[in-house]
Structure 1
Amino acid sequence: MKSHHTFTTSRILILCFTLAWASTAVPVFPGGHVTAAPVPAQLTDEQFWKLSTTLSEQDGTFRSDNLLSNELNFQYVIPELLQKAKQGRIYMGVGPEQNFTYIVALKPAMAFIVDI
């Protein structure tokens, strides 16, 4: 019984090492980079409705809505954010207040604020 267990453990270890090696040997993105699809100038009513319904949770009663931020220093990251993020892309944020500040600073083509 012990030899069967050792054999099975050895096979699992060999499989794990093989998968680990294969995952480092195969490039994830051919060519080294991925290009984004162009951002539409605007969404149609149908596209917006589909996004709203598929990204939203079911209707219901919620005990509270927190519309305030307890973050006092969120604006200090804006200079570095402007250096790293490109304007005209898509912005996705979580939470209320700071996102509006970031959206104004980054000037994205489209913005989404989601709550998880």
Structure 2
Amino acid sequence: MTTNDTPSADDQPSTHHTAVRKAFAHLGHEGRLLVLYDLQTGSKRFTEIKRSTGLSAATLSRTLASLQARTLITSRTAQTSHAATYYCLTEKGAALHEMFKTLEEQVTPAEWSE
């Protein structure tokens, strides 16, 4: 800051920082992170994701739509005896694997239990 508390050009966040801030705001939603983490092991059906994340059907539907809109996941419909939709990570979503791996390695459940 300058002496008159007006932000100088040096105080402005870079374009990269602004993009990262927006990504954190989007991904920081617990449901989104749970779904992204859950899909690290491969594609799953809606009911499988619902069961493993504990999200309500309505919340999961909104979360999946949001993640698809951000191209972090994709869906495909399998033509079996009854059409089943599977969700999986895109390349962009899979790029978060290292972040989740680091969290798994560094955090013990006891540290985060309430």
| TM-score category of the 2 structures, normalised to the smaller one | under 0.3
Greater share of residues in helix: 2
Task: Specify the structure having the higher radius of gyration (Cα).
Answer: 1
What TM-score, normalized to structure 2? 0.27
What TM-score, normalized to structure 1? 0.26
